[in-house]
Structure 1
Amino acid sequence: MPESPVWLIDASIYVFRPWFVRGHIPQDRDSNPVNAVLGFLRFVYNLLQTEQPQQIGFAFDTSLHTSKRKAIYPAYKANRPPAPDELKYQFQLCRDFLDALGIVQAASHHFEADDIIGTWAKQHQANGHACMIISGDKDLAQLVGEHDIWWDYGKRKPLTSGGVKKEFGVWPQQIPCQLALAGDVADNIPGIPGIGMATAARLLQKFKDTEILLSRIPEIGQMKTRGAKRLQALVEEHQATVRLARQLTGIDCEVPDIPLDLRREEKDLPRLQTLCELLNLTDHQFTLWAQV
């Protein structure tokens, strides 16, 4: 593990996971469901207590309808229903709780959480800091540099740059091209029909990126791989799709108007106590949060 890394958290997935867990639904003092909040807070507490990060930032998604990718491709993430009001309420509580803990959290109406994390990563990598990129989304593995780690915390083992290559078949910087070729069902990004992640990886092993691949299409048919001529024809036919998808799969590392200093500040204990009372947490739990 890198020494004194900067922790960059893709927050939304750690809210969604407990939201979808079935069973007893705890409520706050006003009888609103708070299962997602409490699940997210368990994740946050465990991370803070175990890892004791000195620099940490949480990136959230807000409205997909005004994102840059939606403007490029209106069907982007169109397969995802809008969050219900009770989930939006819980997302805001998560952000409020982080504020009370003195932890940086950020969101943008025009950029996604991935882009916020990319902006933080670019800055801190340039300053010589290793980054722990905490997410369950493989898209963010593209940000992993020589000293960084991508980690679906509590679910999978941490992956270095070489670990990403072993896991996904391509180097981190090739992931946007791999997704542009194979498509990304989760984000409703089109790819080349009949080309999956493994085949995309084989193409990128030879051609490095989609730009080179599309400039040397006739060479695909000469590859020593089964169905090479068919692959060539598929790429030839779907060039426009690949170029469109490649605009969607890359991460923008120049998000404006977000906090860049990720050092923790002093806790707002009165606000923290108010939130703990709202969430029906005990005095002992408040004390644990005040000390973490």
Structure 2
Amino acid sequence: MARLSAFAGGALIFLIDASVYVFRAYHSMLPDMRDRDGNPAHAVFGFARFLGDLIERVRPAYMAVAFDERRAGSYRNRIYPPYKANRERAPADLVLQLGHCRELCRCLGLAAFVDPEYEADDIIGTLAHLMRGQGVRSAFITRDKDLAQLVRDGDLFWDFGARGQFGYHDIERHFGVRPERFADYLALTGDEVDNIPGVPGIGHRTAASLMKAFDSLDEMYADLSRVARLKLRGAGSLGVRLSAHRDSVFLARQLTRIACDLRLGVAAGGLRRRPPDLPALSTLYDRLGFGPFLRRQGERLAQLPAG
């Protein structure tokens, strides 16, 4: 399994899937922490502590934070209106705290991004693609399996504070499929969390076996007769099912594939970590009712070399 220590001496950008860690703080911390207007602020506190702990541990030269702005008009909803329709709307107090979290990133000297059309995954994919062109590898800070498709040789997939760190070859050992084929794999299995339908009767093991036998969905559908010869239970009827659901599979892939070509208007230099703006950070913490713990951490961060 990959370890962060293996990246010593190499250029690396830390790309943070913010919603994962904001939601984790929102649901795990007691909501009795209030800002000066009486609104809950516990998710911001937890997110601030997470960011501070991460920065102190890895001392990054490059770091960026991607947020989701959940709107029904996203490009995936236009492709497939039921996409994520099974999810409840975020509570109003969480939406308010997400805005504070974006402000927090700016105060900490971190580039933060949100897009009304695209998801945090797409922002992260675009930034990873941009930096890869500059010879900079990526550490994806997330627990969202969808982002595994972005991992390439030299990259890291890491749910900070929870499960282990995965390199390129660890992804296949853990999930059963290579990163490059992950979007195709999800198109076959579907994704209940995102309300994406899969092919009936195809589970994770069968989908992984298909993605080991074929380089892509395109190759598989170009030669479906091969499926019947695979050593899979029910292989004889599997090709028939795949053929019947061809259109829905390719539709699903449009939903599961992460976009890496957004126009974010940023160059590599704009992703360098800057020193915290301590006066702005103090003003934010005053407004949120935070005590000395995070302020002291902010002062320590200000002493670290900038990117």
1:267 matched to 2:276: yes
Aligned equivalent of 1:56: 63
Q: CA RMSD in A?
A: 1.4
1:68 matched to 2:75: yes
Out of 137, 140, 143, the position equivalent to 2:147 is 140
What amino acid is aligned across from residue 270 of structure 1 in structure 2? P
What amino acid is aligned across from residue 138 of structure 1 in structure 2? K
Change (3 A) 1:22 1:131: closer
Report if aligned partners of 2:276, 2:298 keep a CA contact under 8 Å in 1.
no
Query: 1:67: Cα distance to partner?
Result: 1.3
Secondary structure of 2:157's aligned partner: strand
Distance 2:185 2:150 in 1: 14
Query: 1:130: Cα distance to partner?
Result: 1.2
Distance 1:25 1:230 in 2: 56
Distance 1:22 1:97 in 2: 18
Report if aligned partners of 1:106, 1:259 keep a CA contact under 8 Å in 2.
no
Out of 202, 210, 213, the position equivalent to 2:209 is 202
Query: 1:265: Cα distance to partner?
Result: 2.4
1:289 matched to 2:298: yes
Number of residues of Structure 1 aligned to a counterpart in Structure 2: 292
Per-residue CA distance 1:114-156 (angstroms, 9 max, x = gap): 1110111001111111110111111111111111011111111
Distance 2:300 2:140 in 1: 25
Query: 1:24: Cα distance to partner?
Result: 4.9
Aligned equivalent of 2:304: none
What amino acid is aligned across from residue 205 of structure 2 in structure 1? A
* Superposed counterparts of 1:28-177, under 5 Å: 28-177=35-184
Out of 12, 15, 30, the position equivalent to 2:19 is 12
What amino acid is aligned across from residue 277 of structure 2 in structure 1? D
When normalised by structure 2's length, the TM-score is 0.91
Distance 1:285 1:105 in 2: 20
1:227 matched to 2:234: yes
Report if aligned partners of 2:139, 2:155 keep a CA contact under 8 Å in 1.
yes
Distance 1:114 1:22 in 2: 25
Q: Percent identity?
A: 39
Per-residue CA distance 1:161-217 (angstroms, 9 max, x = gap): 100010111110100000000001111111101111211010111112111111111
Aligned equivalent of 1:277: 286
Distance 1:111 1:233 in 2: 34
Change (3 A) 1:284 1:206: closer
What amino acid is aligned across from residue 92 of structure 1 in structure 2? G
Secondary structure of 1:199's aligned partner: helix
What amino acid is aligned across from residue 242 of structure 1 in structure 2? V
